[in-house]
């Protein structure tokens, strides 16, 4: 039986390496940070084509925990409610742990790197890398998409769910940058962290859904007939 999710080991490795490279560039004020801040200022002052301020604010708000986490809770409740062959609590527990890991990882990193924010955030204490809103949205909506795709036989449905999740998260990132809440690399760094966490969720779901081999027959306790 084919499993619906096939996480690749290379994803967390690439995500981790990308995050390390971004952290290094920001910490040492490298050329990527210089280009990133130039792009961020341009997005705030000149705007993003096709993304007016009102729409950008709406998209940025989708990264709030008060919006994203309830979506994940609903998906987890659905996964608990619907029947499945594997234990029902595996999927929601994996998603909940991934969501709990977001502040546990992001807050210390913000304090350690202490990156100042874009000009609209002047006066706010430093600590903008990685973006908590982008990480919250990526993990909450990504884990919700995995829960919805969990055990579904339709590849087309899984593709639609994955595409919808990607569009929402790109919108959140664009909104955060357009409104000047974060630099572009703040968002990209959060996506790298989320890639590792979502890979872990997908790994748990795949192992839970993996078909189990037939159980070995029990040895008979009935004594054999005489002479045999």
Query: For the segment 168-189, what is each residue's pLDDT rounded down to a tens digit?
Result: 999 999 999 999 999 999 999 9
Task: Supply the range of the domain harboring residue 185.
Answer: 10-209
Task: Please give the model's pTM, rounded to 2 decimal places.
Answer: 0.85
Q: pLDDT digits over 137-165, tens only?
A: 999 999 999 988 876 656 777 888 889 99
| Domain contains 204 | yes
Other beta carbons within 10 Å of 191 = 22
- If we measure between CA atoms, which residue out of 208, 200, 86, 82 comes closest to residue 143? 200
Q: Identify the pLDDT of residue 142.
A: 96
| pLDDT tops 80 at residue 208 | no
Q: How far apart (Å, rounded) are the C-alpha atoms in residues 118 and 150?
A: 39
Residues above pLDDT 90, as percent of the chain: 64
- Whole-number mean pLDDT of the chain? 86
Q: How far apart (Å, rounded) are the C-alpha atoms in residues 39 and 152?
A: 41
Cβ–Cβ < 8 Å for 33, 185: yes
Cβ–Cβ < 8 Å for 157, 117: no
Angle formed by the axes of helices 184-209 and 132-149, nearest 10°: 30
| Domain contains 222 | no
Q: Please state the separation of Cα 153 from the chain's center in Å.
A: 23
| Domain contains 214 | no
pLDDT, greater one: 7 or 19: 19
Q: How many structural domains does the chain have?
A: 1
Q: Identify the pLDDT of residue 11.
A: 79
- If we measure between CA atoms, which residue out of 156, 139, 140 comes closest to residue 4? 156
| Domain contains 217 | no
| Domain contains 225 | no
């Amino acid at each position: 039986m084919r499993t619906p999710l096939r996480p690749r080991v290379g994803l967390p490795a690439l995500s981790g390496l990308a995050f390390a490279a971004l952290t290094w560039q920001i910490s040492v004020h490298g050329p990527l940070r210089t280009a990133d801040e130039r792009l961020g200022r341009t997005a705030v002052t000149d705007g993003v084509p096709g993304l007016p301020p009102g729409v950008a604010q709406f998209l940025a708000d989708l990264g709030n925990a008060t919006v994203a986490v309830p979506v994940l809770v609903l998906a987890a409740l659905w996964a608990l409610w619907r029947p499945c062959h594997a234990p029902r609590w595996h999927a929601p527990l994996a998603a909940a742990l991934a969501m709990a890991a977001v502040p546990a990882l992001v807050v210390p990193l913000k304090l350690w790197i202490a990156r100042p924010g874009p000009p609209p955030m002047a006066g706010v204490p430093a600590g903008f890398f990685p973006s908590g809103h982008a990480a919250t949205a990526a993990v909450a909506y990504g884990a919700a998409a995995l829960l919805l795709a969990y055990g579904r036989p339709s590849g087309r449905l899984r593709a639609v769910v994955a595409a919808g999740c990607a569009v929402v998260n790109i919108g959140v990132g664009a909104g955060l940058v357009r409104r000047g809440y974060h630099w572009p690399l703040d968002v990209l760094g959060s996506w790298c962290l989320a890639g590792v966490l979502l890979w872990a969720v997908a790994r748990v779901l795949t192992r839970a859904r993996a078909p189990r081999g037939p159980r070995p027959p029990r040895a008979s306790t009935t004594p054999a007939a005489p002479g045999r």
